[in-house]
Amino acid sequence: MRRGRGTRALAVVAALALVAAGCGNGDDDTTDIGIDDDLAGVTLEVAAVWTGEEQRNFEQVLAAFEEATGATVNYTSTGDDIAAVLGSRIAGGNPPDVAMLPQPGLLRDFAQQGALQPIEEIAGDLVDAHYAETWRDLGTVDGELYGVWFKAANKSLVWYNVGVFEDAGVEPPETWDDFLEAARTITDFGVDAISVGGADGWTLTDWFENVYLRTAGPDLYDQLTDHEIPWTHESVVEALEVLAEAFDPDLMAGGTQGALQTDFNTSVAQVFTDPPRAAMVYEGDFVAGVISGETDAELGVDADVFEFPTIGGAGGVVGGGDVAVLLRDTEGGRALMRYLASPESGEVWAGLGGFISPNQDVDLDAYPDEITRSIAEALAGADVFRFDLSDLQPAEFGATVGQGLFSLFQDFLADPGDIDGVTQRMEQEAAAAHG
């Protein structure tokens, strides 16, 4: 991945820089990426789940598009229940022009319902130019390209207390064996090594997905995602055996019961309190917001991050994201889809913080700090990327508090020795959910 792009291929960059500074003049055009720079009078609607700061930041992206084209974009927040909101509007014949979907499962469902417009002829060239192949695959249903991935989350990260690591004489590990050795060294030093937010079952599924991708490989990961192999498969057993090494009560803050009673935010905060209750915590790039918002730790000084360790030489990135889809074949919608596939659109939000782009040509200098730049580089340049497995399951199995995988992995955390029992229950519930 290149750190800079040199001379910009897109004339719109000047407009974006001006808008980001609050002083755009509208003199630039977007014809270099096949977008009409004279869309005055064109109005379109974009729907997404984002509210609050995320909504405000995305509206800056839309403002840059408006500045460069003259179009007017109206933003609608659907809240978390975007599937129901869009489904109702589609059924009523009044969908927005463009929507940002938070899961590939929704993209698949809407595409198979015939609710989405194919975008190969609209933005396929830009997807090929700026994205790794895995992102095209994630935006494709039944051989047809429907989505442009705009925002992503890198969920293959371990955040650590710099002071504890230095005092214990430990370096950020690269391999699983080194990770366990570092954890034991830190524990012997007198600080619990690993903070686990076991009260929130989704953190545990994320742990498993990273281990499984490394021990089983991407092909089996895909097969397990689609329930083409059972949860009793030997590859799942092996991954749980490896994960149990990290879920050692002697290494976790508060032991097993402490981990089961710790929610995600607390799992992060207790690593960076004074004195710290643990040395490191696994989770995605969004951990940075908790560190900044709930502790006095300074990113890059007191808090730092390393990639989830390799296992047997295998790495990869597990993540999530938001994909742009076209619901109405309109001039404004087509133009916005091309714009969202360009590096420049990502650079607008990147400069505002709280954002990672899967577009591998977004200039790393657009990100506000070195930590975010390193996270973005790892994600966009990953040879192996897989979407969060639990998010791809039927909701009752993969994404519901108190049941399915969330509850089953809490059972595993409580008793890592009962792998046969938990995998049998996983398979029973998976079979019922997948029909």
Residue pLDDT, tens place only, 242-286: 999 999 999 999 999 999 999 999 999 999 999 999 999 999 998
Give the Cα separation of 19 and 246 in Å (integer): 47
> Which region among 19-23, 144-148, 160-164, 171-175 has the lowest average model confidence (pLDDT)?
19-23
pLDDT above 50 (res 289): yes
Q: Homologous superfamily of 13-153+328-379 in CATH? A: Periplasmic binding protein-like II (3.40.190.10)
Percent of the chain with pLDDT over 90: 78
Contacts of 165 (CB under 8 A, 6+ apart): 171, 172, 182, 186, 279
Q: Which two tokens mark 389?
A: 């497995």
CA atoms lying within 13 Å on the CB side of residue 302: 14
pLDDT above 60 (res 13): no
User: What is residue 128's predicted lDDT score, i.e. its pLDDT?
Assistant: 96
Contact between 211 and 416 (Cβ < 8 Å)? no
3-state secondary structure of 306: strand
Q: What are phi and psi of 306, to 5 degrees?
A: -135, 160
**pLDDT averaged over every residue in the chain:** 90
Residue pLDDT, tens place only, 60-100: 999 999 999 999 999 999 987 898 999 999 999 999 999 99
Pairing label, strands 140-141, 144-145? antiparallel
What element of type H or E holds 152?
A: strand 147-154
User: What is residue 32's predicted lDDT score, i.e. its pLDDT?
Assistant: 56
pLDDT above 80 (res 17): no
13-153+328-379 and 157-317+388-434: same fold? yes
Residue pLDDT, tens place only, 312-367: 999 999 998 999 999 999 999 999 999 999 999 999 999 988 899 999 999 999 99
Taking the alpha carbons at both ends of the chain, their separation in whole angstroms is 42
Q: Which two tokens mark 154?
A: 């890198």
CATH fold of 157-317+388-434, please? D-Maltodextrin-Binding Protein; domain 2 (3.40.190)
pLDDT above 70 (res 10): no
Where do the domains of the chain lie? 13-153+328-379, 157-317+388-434
Q: Which two tokens mark 217?
A: 């490989």
- For the segment 17-44, the average pLDDT, to the nearest whole number, is 58
Q: Report the alpha-carbon angle 225-229-230, nearest 5.
A: 95
3-state secondary structure of 322: strand
Give the Cα separation of 373 and 20 in Å (integer): 19
Q: Which two tokens mark 397?
A: 């199995």
**Strands (DSSP E) along 8-125, which ranges?**
43-48, 72-77, 98-101
Q: How many other C-beta atoms are found inside a 10 Å radius of the C-beta of residue 253?
A: 23
Could you tell me which of 175, 300, 323 has the C-alpha nearest to residue 245? 175
Residue pLDDT, tens place only, 33-64: 667 678 999 999 999 999 988 999 999 999 99
pTM for this model (two decimals): 0.78
Higher pLDDT, 146 or 2: 146
